[in-house]
Chains A and B, each alone.
Chain A
Amino acid sequence: MALETRTRAARKPAEFRARVPVGELLMCDRMRAIVVIGLTLVGCAYQPGSFQSPMQSFVGQLASIDCLDLAIERRPDLPAGDAVVSYAFGNRCDHPVIVDLAMADLFGRTSDGQQLALSAYDPFHELSIARLDGRAVGREAISYQSDVPLRDICVDAASIAHAAPSVWLCLAARPQPSEAQ
């Protein structure tokens, strides 16, 4: 995928300041910071099996693999055709666990049943094995390049936690927002 397709936006501080008085803006930011810090320090420990967190949502198909609660959702494909899968995860345990989205096992299936190996779009070589802190949550969205439309994408949720046996979750294609309307 060409990098030119990136969409970027700059804030317009002058317009923003014109609408919101500086005092209110500072108060808003301060309040937001206090709320975020407060939630982080006191109330944001992930509750095992809850698939809920004030920090993020858990949508899609759910699976619990050892210490890892996973929610995997397929989003509408990118305009260029790449499939996008979002992963939300919460650590059920008090100690760190492995989250490996770089080596996750997955394949795509076309409408005629053909299975295709998929590779993640990672132009900056960011994807890597990482550890999620005890009772913490995280999320990522990864796109997978494909020349043909994929009816399903199947992900082995257990491979994300380096666990066995395999737990395959198959995610059907979702219509583009414009098509859904």
Chain B
Amino acid sequence: MTTRIAFLVTSILATMPVPAAFADDSDSEDLPCCPAGDDGRPCYVDDNDVVGYRRCDRYGAWGRNLLDPYVFFDLGMNERTFGSTATPPSVVPAARTVGPKPPTAGKGSTSTALLFDERMGFGLSRHLYGAVDFELGNFGNLDSLDTSTPDLVVDGLASLGLRGGLGPFALAAEVAGGVMEYTFAWERDGHVDGMLEARGRLDLWLSPWCSVGGVVGTSLIAQGDWMAGVYLGVHTWSYAGNRQ
């Protein structure tokens, strides 16, 4: 038995590739540069930081972020209040006859949705930026008997805005447009609505490359719809490139 196990282990070891680190040192010239995280594969590390004597860290790495376009990423949560759009219709789809009953939509009734918001933007000029938002959420309502609130909301928006600095803050105003899909607990098919919003943003700089901010917005096409949210932002240029 022991012999068989030893044979199996030996066979497995024999099929494993021989690490290049055991090869001749001259092979290290052809190895790829080591990534930031050690993934265990053979790789090359500069042992000299003088320009012309190093291969992996090229000159000017400290300024490379400015050679790429300005990009920012925001991650946060938004609460959307629907004053009109997402109030459920009073007609039950015939295909679904079990589950929660639809409420009678009353005029002036509102519903809310809590959404995760992932946002990526890029600078178009010093103060002008574009961004895309992806929101998903309201999972908390999936098992709820509350039939007046959407149980799944997903939307995507593109926005165009202007941003400027004000001391430790950055102020921005933008217009965003896109589509939202949502369902109610008692429905099989979702609703798809267009969105057009005006928004204001206030960011507080935690560091030149990191900010925390808040956003409020109101729909320009659905009366009574508005949103508010908070987020954490990461920027590839310090202070979004807004400061002179």
Which residues of A come within 8 Å of B, CB atoms? 1, 5-17, 22, 25, 29-30, 33, 40-45, 78, 84, 94-96, 99, 120-124, 126-128, 130-143
Which residues of B come within 8 Å of A, CB atoms? 19-22, 25, 27-29, 31, 34, 36-38, 40-53, 55, 58-63, 65-66, 206-210, 234, 237-239, 243-244
Which A-chain residue is minimally distant from B59 (CB atoms)? Answer: A126
Check B66–A133 contact: CB distance below 8 A: yes
Contacts of A14 in B (CB 8 A): 19, 21-22
The secondary structure that dominates the A interface is mixed
Contacts of A142 in B (CB 8 A): 50-51
Contacts of B60 in A (CB 8 A): 126, 128, 130, 140
Known contacts A126-B51, A126-B59; A134/B44 CB under 8 A: no
Check B52–A122 contact: CB distance below 8 A: yes
Known contacts A126-B58, A128-B60; A11/B45 CB under 8 A: yes
Contacts of A45 in B (CB 8 A): 207-208, 238
Check A141–B51 contact: CB distance below 8 A: yes
Which B-chain residue is minimally distant from A13 (CB atoms)? Answer: B40
Check B207–A7 contact: CB distance below 8 A: no
Check A8–B51 contact: CB distance below 8 A: no
Q: With A and B bound together, what is the CA distance between A84 and B53 in angstroms?
A: 12
* Chain B nearest Cβ from A2, distance in angstroms: 11
Which B-chain residue is minimally distant from A128 (CB atoms)? Answer: B60
* Chain B nearest Cβ from A54, distance in angstroms: 12
